[in-house]
Amino acid sequence: MSRALQTTTLESPLNDLIDAENLKRVQDQSAKENFRRDETPGLYGEIPLEVVSVQSAHDVEKLVQICMKTKVPLIARGAGSGKAGGAIIETGTKGVICDFRTMNRILRIDRENQLVFVEPGVVLKDLQDAVEAEGLFYPPDPASLSWCTLGGNVATNAGGARAVKYGVTRDYVNALEFVDGRSQKHRVGRPCAKSVVGYNIKDCLVGSEGTLGLLTQMTLRLLPKPRHVGSAVFVFKTRKDAASFISQMSSLSYVPRCAEYLDRESIDSARKLGVPYRFAEDAEAAILFEVDGFHDDALYQELELALKLAEACGSTMHEIALDERARQRIWDSRRALSEATRKRSNYKISEDIVVPRSRIIEMVQTIRERGQGAGLDAFAFGHAGDGNLHVQVCFDDDALRERVLDFHVEIFKEALRMGGSISGEHGIGLAKRESIGLEIDSVTLELHRKIKSAFDPDNILNPGKIFSECA
Amino acid sequence: MSRALQTTTLESPLNDLIDAENLKRVQDQSAKENFRRDETPGLYGEIPLEVVSVQSAHDVEKLVQICMKTKVPLIARGAGSGKAGGAIIETGTKGVICDFRTMNRILRIDRENQLVFVEPGVVLKDLQDAVEAEGLFYPPDPASLSWCTLGGNVATNAGGARAVKYGVTRDYVNALEFVDGRSQKHRVGRPCAKSVVGYNIKDCLVGSEGTLGLLTQMTLRLLPKPRHVGSAVFVFKTRKDAASFISQMSSLSYVPRCAEYLDRESIDSARKLGVPYRFAEDAEAAILFEVDGFHDDALYQELELALKLAEACGSTMHEIALDERARQRIWDSRRALSEATRKRSNYKISEDIVVPRSRIIEMVQTIRERGQGAGLDAFAFGHAGDGNLHVQVCFDDDALRERVLDFHVEIFKEALRMGGSISGEHGIGLAKRESIGLEIDSVTLELHRKIKSAFDPDNILNPGKIFSECA
C-alpha cells in the first residue's frame, strides 16, 4: 500500500519534468515491463518509473538534472545484453531507464588515423561491418555481437574470443564523452594515438557499469583488417587433455587470435540445438583455435605448430577451416552455446571466472569433481586462451538454487586462490555484488566508494550496482 | 631567514621519526643535491629535506605515515629520468623523496602465463634482458630504457618507439600494489589475463605521476618474443615527403613495430655526436621503420611494401637492416638524439606533442615555419607512427627563454586544434602544469581534484604536480 503511494508521489513530478524538457519517454506499460530483465538468467528487477529514449548528450544532461531534482536513480541501458543485472532496477527500489538505443549513429570513420567516432547505441555488428568495409578491424567480439551496443560494451569492458590476442574493449577506447552524476559533461582521452595528460578518467569509466557516468560519445581505435584468418577445431578424448593444450600454448611462440574451450556437455547441447558445425560424436572436449595475420604462409605454419601441440596433448581428431563459410559454421555454433546450454534444463546459472592459463587443467577438474560431488550438472566453455571460463550449472528443480549458488562461490574462491578473478568480462552488476568482497578487500572497496562519490556525489547513477553503498 | 627557520623546525621531527622507524635515509648533503633535478632541461627544484631509500611496501607505509604526521609532501622517485619535473620538489616548497631504486627485485617470471612480478625500482633494460632470456618480450621502450625504472614507467605511462604496434606501459600492467595518501595498501587488478571486478583503479594509477599512490609491486604482462625483426632507414629530400610517408602508413594493411621521424637538425646533431649509424649527407629527413613477426617471409613482404610506399613519397635512399648488429647501430643512434640535440646550444627545451597521423605533414611544416618566423632553431624527431613528435628548440641566449615557451604554447594549441595532445609520453609534472588547461577544461580539472582527494585527502603525495591545487 505504502509502496503504491510512494510510486504515485514520485511518478507525477517525474513525467511532468520529462515532458517539460521534451524528452521522449516510453508510454506503453507493457513495453516498460521488458526492462525488468537483461540476459542474466533468473534475475528480474522492477518495472521502471520511466524509460527515456535519449537522442543527444543534451538529453542526457537534462535527464540527469531531473533525476537529481527528484532523487530518482538513473540506470543507463543499451541492448540489455548484460549478464550481471547491471542494467535492471533492483527489487524494492525505483528507477528511470536511460535508453541509449536511440543514440546509434556511426558519426565518422577516419580511415587514415584508424579511428571511429560513435554514439553509444550503435550495435557492435553494425560497427564491425562498417569498418571492415573500409579495410579496418574492430577486434572486441562478445558472443552477443549481433545485438549488443557499444555503450554497453564500454560500460562493462566487454571481451570475447579474440581477447587472447587483441585485448578487450578498453584497449580500443581512445576517448569518451560522458555526463557525470551532477550533469556535468566531460571529454576524456583524445582522438589520437597517445596522450598522458591528466588522470586516466577514460579508463576509469570503462567497466564502471553506468555508476560513474553516462557515455554519450566514444572514439574507438581500429586496426588494419587481418588479411588471412585460419581456424581449427581440435577434438580431445578427455577434458584434461584439452586443458593441457591451453596450458602449453605459451610454447607456440606466437599469440593465437582465439583459443576457445568446449566441454562435452556444451558440445552435446549445441548438437541438440542443431548448430551448423558437426562436432565429433565422441568428443569429451574441443578447442576452437584461430590464427590471423598478414601472410598466409605464416598462418599455415602457425596452424601446423598448433596441430602438433594438440596431437602431443592427445588430440584424436582435428579439422582446419580456411574459408570464410567453414569458419562461420564453427563460430555460429560456438556463439549459440549460451542459448543451447540454457535449453538443457529449466534453470541455468552461469559464471565467468578467470584463472591463470597454467591452472586451467586444475580448474576444469575442480568444476567436474565438485559438480559431481554436489550432484549438479556443471561444466564449462569459454575463452580459455586467456583463462576465462564460463562455468555453467543447469538444474530443473528451483529448490537446488541455493546449492548452485554455493557451488559458484566455491568456484570463485578456487579461482581467486589460483590467482584468477571472479569475472573476466560479464562484470559484477547485481548478480555478483555479494561476492565482490571475495576479490576486493574492504579497504579498497572503501576507495571505490570515494571514487563513486567524486563522480556522483548524490548517488544518482545506477546505485547499488557493483558494490553496496555502505561497508 | 624565515625559510631557514622553517626548515629547521621541520627537519628535526622528520629525521627523528625516520630513524625511529628504522628507515634508511641519505645522510650526505651533496648526495641530496642530486635530487634537485631530473631530465627536464633547465628545471631545478629544492634540495629534499630527506631522501629515504625504501626496501619494502612496509617501509613505504611507514614513510607515508610520517609525512601525514608532519604534513611534509612525499615525492616518489625512480631513476629521475622523467622529462616533466614530476619527481623534483617545486621551488619554494618542501618535500621528502621516496627513492625506490632500492626496491629493485624481479620477483618471479611466470613463463606459462607470460607474466612478470617486479618491484618498482627494477631498471627497464634489466627486465627486458631477463624476460628475453626466457623467450618472452616486454614491448615498452622509452629512449632511457637502459637506466629508467619500471615504477617511473608506470607512474608516467611511458611509451617509446614500439608503441605504434604494441601500445604503451599501461597496456602491460595487469596488477599493481600501491600505498595511498592515508598509508592504506591496495592491490588492484589481478595476476591473470582478464578481470572486470570493481573500478579500474589500476589504470587510474598508471600515469598519475606519484600523486595518487606509491607503487610497491607490479605484475606486468609479457608477449612471446618476436622471432624476426627487420629495420629500414628511408631517407627523404624534404621533411614533407617523410611526413607524407607517415600519413599514408595506414595503406600498408599491417602495423609496423616502429616508424620514427628524424629532421635534418636531429640527423646533423647525431652525426656531430659521432653516433654509429651514418645517415646520408643530404638527408633533409629520415624515417626509421621496423617490422617484426613470426615468419621471415612475411617480414620481407612487409618491408618491401614499406619501401614502395617510401619511394612513392619521394624517398631517395634506403637501407635495410636485418641483422641484430646493424639494427643496434641504427637504434643506438636514434636513442642518442636527445643528448645529441642538447649539445647544439646552451639551452634546449623539448616537448612531446601528439597529432593524428594524417596531420603530421601540417605539424612538421608548422614547426618549421613558426620556428623560422620566431627566429628559433626549432625541429622535431620522435615516434611519428603514432603522431608523437618531440619538438626541440635549441638556443644560446637565456633571454630567449620566454619566446621559446611562447612558441611551445603556440605548438600545443595547434596540436590540440588538430585533435592531438600536449603530451604523448612525458607527462605533465611541473613543466606543463600551466598548460594543462589548454587540453582539459575546468569542469574536468575539478573532477581531477576530487579523484586526487579520494586517494590522498591530505594532499601528501607529490602535491602540485599535473595540476595546481585550486581552480
Q: What is the pLDDT of residues A375-404, one digit of tens each?
A: 999 999 999 999 999 999 999 999 999 999
Smallest CA–CA distance from A388 into chain B, residue: B194
User: How many residues in total does chain A contain?
Assistant: 471
Q: Assign B112 a pLDDT band (cuts: 50, 70, 90).
A: very high
Higher-pLDDT residue of A3 and A268 is A268
CB contact under 8 A, B253 and A135: yes
The pLDDT value recorded for residue B470 is 66
Residues of chain B in contact with residue A426, where contact means CB-CB under 8 angstroms, are: 196
Higher-pLDDT residue of B2 and A144 is A144
Average pLDDT of chain B?
Answer: 94
Residue whose C-alpha cell is 579523484: B451
B438: contact with A, CB 8 A cutoff: no
Residues of chain A in contact with residue B109, where contact means CB-CB under 8 angstroms, are: none
Residues of chain B in contact with residue A447, where contact means CB-CB under 8 angstroms, are: 180, 184, 186, 201, 454-455
Exposure string for B135-150, b = 16+ CB within 10 A, e = fewer: ebbbbbbbbbbeebbb
Share of chain B above pLDDT 90, in %: 91
**pLDDT over 90 (residue A255):** yes
The residues, any chain, with a CB within 8 Å of residue A405's CB and separated by 6 or more, are A349
Smallest CA–CA distance from B456 into chain A, residue: A447
Residues of chain A in contact with residue B252, where contact means CB-CB under 8 angstroms, are: 224
**pLDDT over 70 (residue A11):** no
The pLDDT value recorded for residue A423 is 97
d(CA A191, CA A263): 42
**pLDDT over 80 (residue A471):** no
For chain A, the straight-line distance linking the first and the last C-alpha, in angstroms and rounded, comes to 31
The pLDDT value recorded for residue A73 is 98
CA atoms within 13 A on the CB side of A173: 32
Helix/strand/coil for B104:
coil
Query: Of B403, B398, B392, which Cα lies nearest the Cα of B269?
Result: B392
Where does residue A87 fall: left (phi above 0), alpha (psi -120 to 50 degrees), or beta otherwise? alpha
A185: contact with B, CB 8 A cutoff: yes
The pLDDT value recorded for residue B4 is 41
Q: Assign B185 a pLDDT band (cuts: 50, 70, 90).
A: very high
Q: Find out whether A277 and A329 touch, Cβ atoms under 8 Å.
A: yes
- In DSSP terms, B235 is beta-bridged to B286, B317
- In DSSP terms, A370 is beta-bridged to none
Span A431-452, average pLDDT? 97
CB contact under 8 A, B207 and A191: no
CB contact under 8 A, A112 and B227: no
Neighbours of B31 (CB within 10 A): 10
Interface test with B, best of A110, A199, A422 (most B CBs within 10 A): A199
The pLDDT value recorded for residue A5 is 41
The pLDDT value recorded for residue A1 is 34
Residues of chain A in contact with residue B171, where contact means CB-CB under 8 angstroms, are: 167, 171
For chain B, how are helix, strand and coil distributed in percent, rounded to 5?
A: 40, 25, 35
CA atoms within 13 A on the CB side of A309: 22
Span B179-199, average pLDDT? 97
The pLDDT value recorded for residue A470 is 66
CB nearest to B447's CB, from A294, A440, A454: A454
Q: Kindly state the cell numbers that stand for A59.
A: 538529453
Strand pairing class (A96-99; A74-77): parallel
d(CA B319, CA B232): 5
The residues, any chain, with a CB within 8 Å of residue B242's CB and separated by 6 or more, are B234, B236, B261, B284, B285, B286, B287, B313, B315, B364
Q: Assign A256 a pLDDT band (cuts: 50, 70, 90).
A: very high
**pLDDT over 90 (residue B6):** no
Smallest CA–CA distance from B295 into chain A, residue: A298
Smallest CA–CA distance from A177 into chain B, residue: B444
Smallest Cα distance from A264 to chain B, Å: 25
Q: Assign A111 a pLDDT band (cuts: 50, 70, 90).
A: very high
Q: Assign B199 a pLDDT band (cuts: 50, 70, 90).
A: very high
A432-435 own/partner pairs: CB under 8 Å, 24+ apart: A432/A84, A432/A351, A433/A464, A433/A465, A433/A466, A433/A467, A433/A468, A435/A409
CB nearest to A448's CB, from B135, B198, B302: B198
d(CA A109, CA B250): 13
Q: Kindly state the cell numbers that stand for A3.
A: 509502496
Query: What is the separation of C-alpha A282 from the centre of its chain, rounded to a whole number of angstroms?
Result: 31
Residues of chain A in contact with residue B412, where contact means CB-CB under 8 angstroms, are: none
CB contact under 8 A, B200 and A170: yes
Strand pairing class (B96-99; B74-77): parallel
Smallest CA–CA distance from B206 into chain A, residue: A200
Helix/strand/coil for A390:
strand
Smallest Cα distance from B254 to chain A, Å: 6
Neighbour-count burial of A347, counting CB atoms closer than 10 A to its CB (0-12 exposed, 13-18 middle, 19+ buried): middle
A20-24, A244-248, B444-448: segment of lowest average pLDDT: A244-248
d(CA B81, CA A461): 41
Domains with residue ranges and CATH for chain A: 15-99 (3.30.43.10), 109-224 (3.30.465.10), 228-338 (3.30.70.2190), 345-435 (3.30.70.2740)
Smallest CA–CA distance from B244 into chain A, residue: A112
Interface test with A, best of B156, B197, B451 (most A CBs within 10 A): B197
Smallest CA–CA distance from B165 into chain A, residue: A223
Smallest Cα distance from A14 to chain B, Å: 27
CB contact under 8 A, B200 and A421: no
Smallest CA–CA distance from A435 into chain B, residue: B197
What is the sign of the dihedral through the CA atoms of B328, B329, B333 and B334?
Answer: negative
Query: Of B186, B203, B454, which Cα lies nearest the Cα of A453?
Result: B454
Residues of chain A in contact with residue B422, where contact means CB-CB under 8 angstroms, are: 197
CB contact under 8 A, B195 and A354: yes
Query: Of A120, A188, A174, A107, which Cα lies nearest the Cα of A150?
Result: A120
A186: contact with B, CB 8 A cutoff: yes
What's the pTM value of the predicted model, to 2 decimals? 0.95
Neighbours of B100 (CB within 10 A): 26
Q: Kindly state the cell numbers that stand for B160.
A: 617509446
A307: contact with B, CB 8 A cutoff: no
Neighbour-count burial of B111, counting CB atoms closer than 10 A to its CB (0-12 exposed, 13-18 middle, 19+ buried): middle
CB contact under 8 A, B227 and A436: no
The answer to whether the complex's ipTM is over 0.90 is: yes
Residues of chain B in contact with residue A114, where contact means CB-CB under 8 angstroms, are: 250
**pLDDT over 70 (residue B10):** no
Smallest Cα distance from B265 to chain A, Å: 25
d(CA A164, CA B353): 32
What SS3 string covers B293-329? ECCHHHHHHHHHHHHHHHHHCCEEEEEEECCHHHHHH
d(CA A391, CA A348): 10
Q: Find out whether B219 and A247 touch, Cβ atoms under 8 Å.
A: no
Q: Phi/psi at A330 (nearest 5 deg)?
A: -65, -45
**pLDDT (tens digit per residue) in A264-301:** 999 999 999 999 998 888 899 999 999 999 888 889 99
Residues of chain B in contact with residue A425, where contact means CB-CB under 8 angstroms, are: 194, 196
The pLDDT value recorded for residue A12 is 64
Residues of chain B in contact with residue A450, where contact means CB-CB under 8 angstroms, are: 453-455
The pLDDT value recorded for residue A280 is 87
The pLDDT value recorded for residue B444 is 98
Residues of chain A in contact with residue B168, where contact means CB-CB under 8 angstroms, are: 194
Residues 87-126 in B contacting A (C-alpha not used; CB under 8 Å): 110-115
The residues, any chain, with a CB within 8 Å of residue B143's CB and separated by 6 or more, are B160, B161, B334, B335, B337, B338
Q: Kindly state the cell numbers that stand for B403.
A: 619566446
Smallest Cα distance from A352 to chain B, Å: 10
d(CA B298, CA A297): 8
The pLDDT value recorded for residue A282 is 86
CB contact under 8 A, B167 and A163: no
Query: Of B125, B143, B141, which Cα lies nearest the Cα of B133?
Result: B125
Q: Find out whether B238 and B282 touch, Cβ atoms under 8 Å.
A: no
CB contact under 8 A, B250 and A111: yes
What is the sign of the dihedral through the CA atoms of A302, A305, A310 and A311?
Answer: positive
Span A455-461, average pLDDT? 98
Residues of chain B in contact with residue A196, where contact means CB-CB under 8 angstroms, are: 156-157, 159, 207, 421, 423-428
CB contact under 8 A, A428 and B298: no
CB contact under 8 A, B444 and A168: no
Q: Assign B12 a pLDDT band (cuts: 50, 70, 90).
A: low
Span A229-247, average pLDDT? 94
Q: How many CB pairs below 8 Å do chains A and B form together?
A: 300
Q: Please give the helix or strand (H or E) that residue A247 lies within, else none.
A: helix A239-247
CB contact under 8 A, A250 and B447: no
CB contact under 8 A, B354 and A193: yes
Q: Kindly state the cell numbers that stand for A94.
A: 525505483
Strand pairing class (A377-383; A388-395): antiparallel
Query: What is the separation of C-alpha B423 from the centre of its chain, rounded to a whole number of angstroms?
Result: 10
The pLDDT value recorded for residue B471 is 56
d(CA A444, CA B455): 10
Q: What is the largest CA-CA distance in chain A?
A: 72
Average pLDDT of chain A?
Answer: 94
Share of chain A above pLDDT 70, in %: 97
Q: What is the DSSP string of A285-301?
A: EEEEEEEEES-HHHHHH
CB nearest to A194's CB, from B159, B192, B196: B159
CB contact under 8 A, A451 and B199: yes
Q: What is the DSSP string of A5-18?
A: HHHHHHHHHHHHHH
Q: How far is CA A451 from CA A200, A340, B198, B460, in A?
A: 13, 40, 11, 18
Residues of chain A in contact with residue B159, where contact means CB-CB under 8 angstroms, are: 194, 196
Q: Kindly state the cell numbers that stand for B443.
A: 569542469
Neighbours of B232 (CB within 10 A): 23
**pLDDT (tens digit per residue) in A185-224:** 999 999 999 999 999 999 999 999 999 999 999 999 999 9
The pLDDT value recorded for residue B7 is 47
Q: Find out whether A363 and A389 touch, Cβ atoms under 8 Å.
A: yes
d(CA B301, CA B296): 9
